[in-house]
Amino acid sequence: MNEKFWEKPVCFLCDYWWIFLIAIVLAFTAYILRDYWLPSNFSQSLSNGNLNDNFVSQPVSTLDETPFSDRELQPQSSPSNLAPPDLQAIIGEPLPVVTVNMSWNTYQNDDIGLTVSYPPEWFYVEDSGRQTVNFYQPNADSTLPENIISISFVPQRIYDPQDPLTITGSELLPITVVGIDGIQYQDIEFSIPTQSYYIELPYREGTLWIMATLGPYENLVPQLHEMLKTLSFASQ
């Protein structure tokens, strides 16, 4: 008996109909759940029949290059997040300043000829060469990146008011500390764990580098300026 041309396809479908049914069910399920496994903009374009929208180039975010003098950096007591979208530095809330009085302690470093007083209950930690001293608030952990006031003598670096030790991109402003003319500047971009304020002074054919935490949570700069009222040098 002659076999009709349609008999083989029909027999194949009869034998393997369940495979086609599974494929249809899987395809339908994938379509229903497309929002879970496709990006939202892709699935919307798929529904609208327009795939070209997914390949339109998006603008690339850039750093804020506004000059430091034009920026508005306002103190914030509790930053809303740890990475501001514009990457600008966050100035912390100034802590109550402990004014100079008879209860202050005195730090003296004969190796570099420096004396400065600091608030009671604060403490300091020196480096092994006595070239750097860090002052900490009460209950701070000096082994962690804490808010600090720091003074360092860098003998191998000749003071240059146009070439600061720390590159921040901020404006270099003049400052006079105990009769010595120097520069002051600060971080203008957000950094972890802290942003800082800096002073550099010419000292003993090197540079005296002074730093205080500026943010994002606490601002020790006013306290630094109070401490600098007590700074003195044995000799130049």
Whether 74 and 46 map to the same domain: the answer is: no
Whether 169 and 110 map to the same domain: the answer is: yes
Non-local CB neighbours of 184 within 8 Å, separated by 6+ positions: 172, 173, 174, 175, 197, 198, 199, 200
State yes or no: pLDDT of 11 exceeds 90.
no
Question: Does residue 63 belong to any structural domain of this protein?
Answer: no
pLDDT band at 157 (very low <50, low <70, confident <90, very high): very high
Domain residue limits at 35:
7-55
> In this predicted model, which residue has the larger pLDDT, 87 or 132?
132
* Total domains, the chain: 2
What is the structure's pLDDT at 26?
Answer: 77
State yes or no: pLDDT of 13 exceeds 60.
yes
Whether 22 and 97 map to the same domain: the answer is: no
Non-local CB neighbours of 193 within 8 Å, separated by 6+ positions: 145
What is the structure's pLDDT at 58?
Answer: 33
**pLDDT, tens digit, 9 for 90 and up, residues 66-91:** 333 333 333 333 333 333 445 677 78
| CA angle (136, 192, 170) in 5-degree steps | 90
For residue 120, give the CATH number of its domain.
3.40.1000.10
Question: Does residue 62 belong to any structural domain of this protein?
Answer: no
pTM of the model: 0.62
> How much is the average pLDDT of 208-236?
91
Tokens of 192: 């972890």
pLDDT band at 114 (very low <50, low <70, confident <90, very high): very high
**pLDDT, tens digit, 9 for 90 and up, residues 215-226:** 888 899 999 999
Whether 26 and 97 map to the same domain: the answer is: no
pLDDT band at 231 (very low <50, low <70, confident <90, very high): very high
Three-class secondary structure assignment of the chain: CCCCCCHHHHHHHHHHHHHHHHHHHHHHHHHHCHHHHCCHHHHHHHHHCCCHHHHCCCCCCCCCCCCHHHCCCCCECCCCCCCCCCCECCCEEECCCCCCCCCCEEEEECCCCEEEEECCCCEEEECCCCCEEEEECCCCCCCCCCCEEEEEEECCCCCCCCCCCCCCCCCCEEEEECCEEEEEEECCECCCCCEEEEEEEEECCEEEEEEEEEECCEECHHHHHHHHCCCEECCC
Whether 131 and 193 map to the same domain: the answer is: yes
Whether 82 and 152 map to the same domain: the answer is: yes
What is the structure's pLDDT at 54?
Answer: 37
As a whole number of Å, the end-to-end CA separation of the chain is: 120
Whether 142 and 101 map to the same domain: the answer is: yes
pLDDT over 70 for what percent of the chain? Answer: 68
Mean pLDDT, all residues of the chain:
77
Nearest to 215 by CA among 185, 236, 178, 190: 190
Question: Does residue 61 belong to any structural domain of this protein?
Answer: no
Cα separations in angstroms, 97 against 100, 110, 119, 186, 222: 9, 28, 9, 20, 7
Whether 73 and 32 map to the same domain: the answer is: no
